Amino acid sequence: MSRPVSAVRKPEMSVQQVPPTSPSNDSQALCLRQRKTRWGSIVFFALIHSVAFIAAPLYAAQYGISPFTIAFTALYGFLTLLAISVGYHRLFSHSAFKAHPALKLICLYLGAATFQQSALKWSSLHRRHHQLTDTPGDPYNIKFGFWYAHMGWIMFWKQPVDYANVRDLQKDPMIVHQHQYFQAWAIMAGVAVPIAIGALAGHAAEAALFAVALRMTLVYHATFFINSYTHTFGSADYDAKTSARDHWLGALLTNGEGYHNFHHAFPVDYRNGIRWYHWDPAKWIIFIGSFIGLTTDLKRTTPARIEEARRRATEIHNSQRMV
Ligand SMILES: [Zn+2]
Ligand SMILES: [Zn+2]
């Protein structure tokens, strides 16, 4: 999962070469993703899940778990997942706002702690997901099934990565450094520092089991739910032509990314949940950050455009019901 990829190496496939095929055109799909059992990812996932769901509970049953570890694991899990939403997703992938270098560094550091590849690679794949949603060129295409969109696309397929679609990010030395030295960033932020903090509190073993393994596993599935759950369950009030859905439970499971139909309709909007009661901590952080200079140029869709999208989506739904 954390294998670094050179930021300047020759693209494996140009996005422009990806044909706008229909989802049913499997021959084109085979040209894009390659069937490959990725033993490194499989063994890593097996290990981390075993530690998180077997070793950690057994340890807790035998020795208990300190309040420090519970609080630290919950906080680090929340912050690292937030770094994916605020940093990897809305800042780097979609340029939904501009960030102070300090916030950018925090997002790169905490994002690396999730072991979800570099911000550059994550953003490249995610931009392709938006460009080619529900087609064979979509790296986590839900049309290939819930499991494929959740984890299968990583474990059993090799996805082409074309860094041509993240040239803007390649101009940022911090992003390039995180990409080129990703393993070091990930091990430092995701393993070494949490264990060191646990050791300072006298709970190094607990930190390894809970703040590293359990936290990383839960953050993985929260992120994966964005590609699987929020492309399956819920309503399509803003874009009737995509599989992306809005669902309150999806928002809870993904820490605010569950208003995914709105997001696919307006991907550069810094918000996913546009109502005040929508669970969207990433939106709140970005908004609050604007008062202290951490974030600027927050992009918002006008109410008129949102209303127009709703009207068009309703028309399509009604016409489909009449057929
Ligand atoms: Zn999506
Ligand atoms: Zn997105």
* Ligand 2 center from residue 126 Cα (angstroms): 6
**CA-CA distances (angstroms) from residue 85 to 34, 177, 265, 270?**
28, 20, 17, 10
* Ligand 2 center from residue 264 Cα (angstroms): 7
Q: Which ligand is nearest to the CA of 88?
A: 2
Q: Which ligand is nearest to the CA of 126?
A: 2
For the record, the structure tokens of 169 come out as 């990010």
User: The tokens 């803007």 sit on which residue?
Assistant: 168
Burial 268-280 (b: 16+ CB within 10 A, else e): ebbbbbbeeebbb
Residue 284 to residue 255: CA distance in whole angstroms: 12
* Ligand 1 center from residue 226 Cα (angstroms): 7
Q: Which ligand is nearest to the CA of 267?
A: 2
Q: Which ligand is nearest to the CA of 89?
A: 2
pLDDT per residue as tens, the chain (323 positions): 333 333 333 333 333 333 333 434 443 443 478 889 999 999 999 999 999 999 999 999 999 999 999 999 999 999 999 999 999 999 999 999 999 999 999 999 999 999 999 999 999 999 999 999 999 999 999 999 999 999 999 999 999 899 999 999 999 999 999 999 999 999 999 999 999 999 999 999 999 999 999 999 999 999 999 999 999 999 999 999 999 999 999 999 888 899 999 999 999 999 999 999 999 999 999 999 999 999 999 999 999 999 999 999 999 888 887 76
Chain-centre distance of CA 125, in angstroms?
10
Q: Tell the burial category of 307 from Cβ atoms under 10 Å away from its Cβ (0-12, 13-18, 19+).
A: exposed
HSE at residue 23, side-chain half, CA atoms within 13 A, is: 15
* Ligand 1 center from residue 72 Cα (angstroms): 30
Q: Give me the amino acid identity at 252.
A: L
* Ligand 1 center from residue 75 Cα (angstroms): 26
How many helical (H) and strand (E) elements, i.e. helices and strands, does the chain have?
18, 4
How many other CB atoms are there within 10 angstroms of residue 90's CB atom? 31
* Ligand 1 center from residue 141 Cα (angstroms): 9
For the record, the structure tokens of 20 come out as 């706008």
* Ligand 1 center from residue 68 Cα (angstroms): 36
* Ligand 1 center from residue 184 Cα (angstroms): 29
The three-state secondary structure class of 220 is helix
pLDDT at residue 323 in the model: 63
SS (H, E, C) 281-298: HHHHHHHHHCCCCCEECC
* Ligand 2 center from residue 14 Cα (angstroms): 20
Q: Which ligand is nearest to the CA of 263?
A: 2
Region of residue 260 (left: phi > 0; alpha: psi -120 to 50; beta: else): alpha
* Ligand 2 center from residue 260 Cα (angstroms): 8
pLDDT at residue 11 in the model: 34
The three-state secondary structure class of 106 is helix
Residue 253 to residue 40: CA distance in whole angstroms: 27
Residue 323 to residue 116: CA distance in whole angstroms: 43
pLDDT at residue 321 in the model: 77
Residue 226 to residue 229: CA distance in whole angstroms: 6
Contact in structure between 4 and 183 (CB atoms under 8 Å):
yes
Residue 35, H or E segment: strand 34-35
Contact in structure between 167 and 7 (CB atoms under 8 Å):
no
Closest CA to 265 of 292, 289, 288, 243: 243
Residue 206 to residue 188: CA distance in whole angstroms: 17
* Ligand 1 center from residue 223 Cα (angstroms): 11
Residue 98, H or E segment: strand 98-99
Residue 198 to residue 88: CA distance in whole angstroms: 26
* Ligand 2 center from residue 1 Cα (angstroms): 20
